[in-house]
Structure 1
Amino acid sequence: MRSDAPPGGLLPSTRELLVSGGDHRIALDPATGRNPYGCSPVATSNQVPFGSSTCSGISPLALAVVDALRERLASGLAWSSPAELYRQEMDRLRTELLQLCGIDAASGTGLVFAASGTDVHLLAARVACDGETDRPLAVITAGQSESGSGVRAALAGRHFSTCSALGRPTVPGEMLVDSCECDILDVPIRTPDGTPRDAKLVDAEIGMLVERAVGAGRRVLLVLMDVSKTGCIAPGIASVLALRRRWGSAVQVLVDACQFRIEPVTLQAYLRHGWMVAVTGSKFLTGPPFSGALMLPPTLGAARRTRPLPPALRAYSAREEWPRDWPGAEALESHANFGLLMRWQAAIHELRAFQAVPPQLTRDILRRFATAVQMRLSRDPCFEALPVPALDRTALGALPTWDDIQTIHPFLLYRPTPGGERIPLGRDETADIHRRIAATSPDCGEWAYQVGQPVGCALRLCMSARLVVQAARDRDLGAGVIAQAMACLDKIAALASGPVPRITRQPQALGT
């Protein structure tokens, strides 16, 4: 799904560009006009976006922003090559994103754009290998099942799709050429019924895996998830800091913050510790899927930056997507992925609007939403909230305002019986309800609801940057957003219980 500009400086439409420059997951179903996650490349007026743990459709305001960018690109192609124009625009977005994260562009922090969070993990693992293909790498994770479906393959240096973001055919599961030997070692963070495992036990098991790997002469890439699909941090930040103190440079750390549910001060703290950080623009920020970025701490050093990147990455990454002070990226080919550019432009629009909301107001809105949702889940016999441990980042020493508040609310579904019992719904029934609440036609007068795709048998109702902005504009501390969340849960409960009634009268549309 290439997005090179065609000869003559002509560009595809905004709709076409938004679904270009990604792997097979970005393709639209001809029958529905949506990708496999239920998102359309055009703004949908009757869909309420509570699914930001998976992805969200583009907002009307963000669509207007990328429409304007497309016009600027079309004009720019009259005097610049696609690659030159792409380089200029990605440099601009890199500076803007770093600034919005409170990072000085001159600090030495690198930022690499990628087509998805999965692609980011592939790049991070290759950076961790550091060109030493003869020395094995142990990738150690906690709760890997709560990361992206292709992340395990990507971390292992394997293809994860039938085509790459730059349009090259690939074989899922096949090793990239010249990849270093890599083992993926994972510690589960939940029991089969969804109960969180004891955090101290998880941390201890992670510590044992690290000790064995280092003792065997392996390099270690330790992945810290902040946060997972169900909103967990794992392994514990304090335990990761202790492992780094004990083993030093033998252990590299990648923070999987692809949900991007962290504040700038938290992100900065991770980078100060010398850890790589993976983010995306399509989760909490609600930019269009797919868009990823890898933040590289200044401590990686000049040697790492000058070493040529492996040729196998040419299928996934273009030199224009790497910082100019990373000479090793010259080993990659030149390519203009205007689809990725436009998706990140939309995400940065949402981030800028979110950061314009006073932090204390953001905290109040998120706390009210979380309280209302948890109360409803605890009182309705159709639901059972999946426990989410407290978000503890105190070991970082940062002073955040809002990112300690739960914004992903996973829950299980039940069918109440006349006798007062509750029958748990299985994966297939849960997946069917997920599809049905999102499938309403714009012409039928009903609201459609996006919620996070099922993780096992759990759905996820999520707060997002866009909904915080909407609540701030409504000046009601999120009352309108909460009302829509209750209406969404009403519809899910009706489907879990039996036939769903026609629901046409709802509060004001959100997410515009």
Structure 2
Amino acid sequence: MTHTETITMKKKVISTAELKQLVCSGGDERLLLDPLTGVNMYGCPPGPVEPSTWVHLSSSTATPISNGAFSHLAEIMNTLDETDGSDPVDERLEGIRQELFNYIGIKSVDADIVFVPSGTDATLQAVFLTRICLPRATTILKNLVLAADEAAGRVFNAASGFHFNAKNIRGDNVIKGTPIPDLHGPTGDKTIECIDVSFEKCQDEAYIEESIDRLVNHSGDTHVLLHALDTSKLGNRTPSHDCLNRIEQKYSKEALTILIDACQFRMSPWRIRDHIKRGRHITITGSKFFTGPAFSGAIIVPACFRAQIQQAPVNNYMTNELAAYSAISDWPQSWTNIRSCLNTYTTVLWKSNIGQFLRMTAAMFELRRYSAIPSSWREQFIIAATAEIRAAFSSVPDLLEPLENKTRNSFFDEFDEEFRHLTIFPFFIRQPNKVKTFLNLDACKELYQKLQIPTETNPITVVIGQPAAIAVNGYPDTVTTFRFSIDARTISDAFERTHGAVPVKTDKLQSQLRLIIKKIADIVNTNDNQS
């Protein structure tokens, strides 16, 4: 089934194979399935997995789609129809926008939502939106990316206005790391510059503020896009809200735009509303905390940018290469300026990205389940699950060492609701019989793959947060961390299984942790015996 054929399906029952094909369509090479294993680079297949043989605490990276969400997608596809020549996906996406507004607790007059395939795509489109709102084509856009080492690995290229993969969402080849024509302006000069700052350096907030001072004062024709992180793939936030407020008070909107990278979507509705009121863009995905399939993202754009976007010279910054990163229905129907421009590029883009629509629909299915649970119960479960995970670490001190951020609590408060508590737990894996020596990146990548392979002695497929190499104060050189994560689906499943019983029960999580740790230990010990 081709991409365009799915839009015109009428009264046809979609097969499981067809639905799986659609769920992994409309993304770049990160969604391609390995022909041998049938999973993508995140270790996830395009359909549901058998719970008795799969264990996943991997929502910091990606999670296989649930049976309930997959069945929901089948129902959606079997009722998707064209009427009066309109695009049914376009109308459904408008409905998802409204549902997100309802979850956040705002009205459509307060913000707009742009859908994107991934968090990295969100960064690229945020650069585009900031670029077209600048008063002059010659203005240099300085993109200051905080804690870049704890953001997605492709963010730097996207933040620079560059191609960040070898393919776009249509599967066309592009040259990774090269500028996207015209996004830098009609003159062809490089007018977007990206500066990355490590998480360790971000601990000195005076350094962040001084960096912005230098960028703003470097030239009278400079605009700074501050890329703040909340929450990182290791569970951190930078900078603090006080720091953001000081920065905003110092600079006008003509000199500074703030982008909140919340792609983990571990953020309370109150906090999102606060960012919107302050005129900050927010990027989210449905594939992390809410466990929709990988590649389901969005940008929440405050209403204060609406008039600028409608009046912007979009044609000056749009090309075939940039247009091919999105579909027309990704953009709000009210944004006639951008939609009109994109309609001139129909040879390189779709009216709607059906795969992206399905993945976001699956994420909304999980968000609906989660938001139906009393907030107090959700928080109690997270607290209990945190204790369970910490107990698991303590049970194997010679194998796993948790990475603790002792200053984290000072960055969160009661307005973060349940997300003031940890939901991502990074850890190192020790080399056998060696003190303070951990598996290196290559060894961790090998272990990550072996965890996903069932064996006779350990027939469980294990998926956890991908290994990430980071520099950590107090540890020698670069160290590689894995992650356990608490997610919305785990909480929803527990609530439904126990009918919301109090005190909450985390017995299933305890069992999962035992299975995962046993398999890690088996692999580490086997590798040690073979070396």
Question: In the alignment, which of 12, 24, 29 is matched to residue 24 of structure 1?
Answer: 29
1:17-416 equivalences in 2 (<5 Å):
17-45=22-50, 46-73=53-80, 76-77=81-82, 79=83, 81=85, 84-105=87-108, 107-130=109-132, 132-180=136-184, 181-190=191-200, 199=203, 201=204, 203-216=205-218, 217=220, 218-249=222-253, 250-309=255-314, 310-312=317-319, 313-330=322-339, 331-333=341-343, 335-379=351-395, 380-388=397-405, 389-393=407-411, 399-416=415-432
In 2, Cα distance between the equivalents of 1:439 and 1:308?
52
* Alignment-derived partner of residue 510 in structure 1: none
In 1, Cα distance between the equivalents of 2:292 and 2:409?
24
SS at 1:293's partner residue? strand
Does the Cα contact within 8 Å between 2:392 and 2:513 map onto a contact in 1? no
Is 1:455 paired with 2:468? yes
Is 1:427 paired with 2:441? yes
SS at 2:260's partner residue? strand
- Deviation of 1:57 after TM superposition, in Å, equals 0.5
Does the Cα contact within 8 Å between 2:330 and 2:352 map onto a contact in 1? no
SS at 2:428's partner residue? strand
SS at 2:226's partner residue? strand
Does the Cα contact within 8 Å between 2:63 and 2:287 map onto a contact in 1? yes
More deviation in 262-271 or 312-321? 312-321
More deviation in 458-467 or 123-132? 123-132
Does the Cα contact within 8 Å between 2:149 and 2:199 map onto a contact in 1? no
- Deviation of 1:344 after TM superposition, in Å, equals 0.5
Letter in structure 2 aligned against 1:480: K
Does the Cα contact within 8 Å between 2:6 and 2:354 map onto a contact in 1? no
Distance 1:500 1:130, change over 3 A: same
Q: Percent identity?
A: 27
TM-score normalised per structure 1: 0.89
- Deviation of 1:5 after TM superposition, in Å, equals 2.5
Letter in structure 2 aligned against 1:4: T
Does the Cα contact within 8 Å between 1:229 and 1:455 map onto a contact in 2? no
Does the Cα contact within 8 Å between 1:56 and 1:288 map onto a contact in 2? yes
* Alignment-derived partner of residue 3 in structure 2: 3
In 2, Cα distance between the equivalents of 1:264 and 1:228?
18
Instruction: For structure 2, list consecutive stretches of 5 or more residues without a partner in the other structure.
Output: 185-190, 344-349, 470-479, 499-503
- Deviation of 1:371 after TM superposition, in Å, equals 1.9
Distance 1:204 1:486, change over 3 A: farther
SS at 1:415's partner residue? coil
Does the Cα contact within 8 Å between 1:286 and 1:464 map onto a contact in 2? yes
SS at 2:199's partner residue? coil
Q: Provide the aligned length of Structure 1 versus Structure 2.
A: 483
Letter in structure 2 aligned against 1:452: G
Does the Cα contact within 8 Å between 1:163 and 1:169 map onto a contact in 2? yes
More deviation in 228-237 or 338-347? 228-237
Does the Cα contact within 8 Å between 2:261 and 2:282 map onto a contact in 1? yes
- Deviation of 1:415 after TM superposition, in Å, equals 2.8
Letter in structure 1 aligned against 2:180: L
Letter in structure 2 aligned against 1:489: I
Distance 1:2 1:404, change over 3 A: farther
Distance 1:198 1:7, change over 3 A: closer
Q: Deviations over 1:41-100 (max 9, x none)?
A: 111112122011110110000000011111122xx14x455x612211111111112212
In 2, Cα distance between the equivalents of 1:386 and 1:55?
21
Letter in structure 2 aligned against 1:345: T
In 2, Cα distance between the equivalents of 1:49 and 1:7?
33
In 1, Cα distance between the equivalents of 2:523 and 2:84?
54
SS at 1:324's partner residue? coil
- Deviation of 1:232 after TM superposition, in Å, equals 0.8
TM-score normalised per structure 2: 0.86
SS at 1:311's partner residue? coil
Is 1:492 paired with 2:495? no
Does the Cα contact within 8 Å between 1:260 and 1:285 map onto a contact in 2? yes
Letter in structure 2 aligned against 1:9: M
Letter in structure 2 aligned against 1:62: A
SS at 1:270's partner residue? helix
In 2, Cα distance between the equivalents of 1:236 and 1:7?
45
Instruction: For structure 1, list consecutive stretches of 5 or more residues without a partner in the other structure.
Output: 191-196, 502-512
Distance 1:384 1:148, change over 3 A: same
Distance 1:339 1:7, change over 3 A: closer
In 1, Cα distance between the equivalents of 2:8 and 2:412?
55
- Deviation of 1:484 after TM superposition, in Å, equals 1.2
SS at 1:332's partner residue? helix
Question: In the alignment, which of 458, 467, 488 is matched to residue 465 of structure 1?
Answer: 488
Q: Deviations over 1:255-296 (max 9, x none)?
A: 000000111111111111110000001011100011110000
In 1, Cα distance between the equivalents of 2:392 and 2:355?
40
Letter in structure 1 aligned against 2:111: T
In 1, Cα distance between the equivalents of 2:2 and 2:330?
15
Does the Cα contact within 8 Å between 2:116 and 2:298 map onto a contact in 1? yes
Distance 1:172 1:473, change over 3 A: same
SS at 1:370's partner residue? helix
Does the Cα contact within 8 Å between 2:147 and 2:202 map onto a contact in 1? no
- Deviation of 1:178 after TM superposition, in Å, equals 1.2
Does the Cα contact within 8 Å between 1:271 and 1:297 map onto a contact in 2? yes
- Deviation of 1:425 after TM superposition, in Å, equals 1.3
Q: Deviations over 1:350-382 (max 9, x none)?
A: 011011111111111111111221233245211
More deviation in 220-229 or 2-11? 2-11
Distance 1:18 1:444, change over 3 A: farther
Does the Cα contact within 8 Å between 1:306 and 1:326 map onto a contact in 2? no
* Alignment-derived partner of residue 507 in structure 1: none
In 2, Cα distance between the equivalents of 1:467 and 1:362?
10
SS at 1:269's partner residue? helix
In 1, Cα distance between the equivalents of 2:73 and 2:67?
10
Q: Deviations over 1:224-277 (max 9, x none)?
A: 100111111012221111111111211110000000011111111111111000
Does the Cα contact within 8 Å between 2:127 and 2:161 map onto a contact in 1? yes
Q: Deviations over 1:8-47 (max 9, x none)?
A: 6377811110011111111111111111111101111121
In 2, Cα distance between the equivalents of 1:421 and 1:149?
30
Q: Deviations over 1:449-505 (max 9, x none)?
A: 21000011111011100011122123343222232123312322332233699xxxx
